[in-house]
Amino acid sequence: MNLAILQARMTSSRLPGKVMAPVLGEPMIGRQLERLGRSARIGRIVVATSTDPSDDPLADYVAGLGHPVFRGSLTDVLARFAGAMALVPDADTIVRLTADCPLADWRVIDATIDHFRDTGADYASNTPAVRTYAHGLDTEVMRRTALEAACREATDPYEREHVTPFIYRRPGRFRLAYLSQPVSQAHLRWTVDLPEDLAFVRDVYERLYPGNPAFTSADVAALEHNSSGAVA
């Protein structure tokens, strides 16, 4: 079973509270969870946030949507993933996603999961050294056993904070696979780190969502191209 763990917190240094910022009348994380719900491969979604009081509104909102929430360390995100993973003991595959990607495309996620399965890898992602997917479509998939090893053994603070480096930094121990697409969209930025990123996402939702709530990354790319930079 494939478990998606969506990491989220309110204390972003560049744009605090962004995950709960309204996007077409709903918190941004709610819009992303709606899109993730269209995946044909993800069996469960757990949101991993912190015990910091600033994350209380986030945890309450997500729980109100019916999704399990695990609350752990603010800084040791790998430990947070261990706790979230423990909520679903029958999941053998873990999908790591981040809550600053409200344009996440379930088709890209499913393709990355399929590539992971097809290659027999311990870890797969669509972010190789030379990426071809837009920033904001990032997906990482790994065996539960690989993530459990990282949780037990990682001591580097960078590996504790960023969850997966313990795995992909060790190609001699873990089998790695990467997914690319024929035409690169690496120049496109759809993740939310800055106010202008949030403005872009809001504009995309206002233009696309009313006519097609299930709009895809191809629709976003076409909109951005046709707007000749007006959207960005």
| Torsion angle, alpha carbons of 56, 80, 70, 202, to 10 | 60
- Tokens standing for 22? 């309204």
pLDDT value of position 226: 82
pLDDT value of position 230: 45
Give the list of residues 6+ apart from residue 32 with CB closer than 8 angstroms, or none: 6, 99, 101, 102, 104
Helices 56-64, 28-36: axis angle to 10 degrees equals 40
- Tokens standing for 124? 């797969």
Q: Where are the beta strands (DSSP E) in the chain?
A: 2-7, 22-23, 26-27, 44-50, 69-72, 93-98, 123-125, 140-143, 176-178
pLDDT value of position 79: 97
What CATH class does 2-191 carry? Answer: alpha beta
pTM of the model: 0.94
pLDDT value of position 12: 87
Measuring CA to CA, which residue among 31, 4, 44 is closest to residue 215?
A: 31
pLDDT value of position 228: 54
Collect the ranges in the chain with pLDDT lower than 50: 229-232
Q: Which sequence spans correspond to the domains of the chain?
A: 2-191
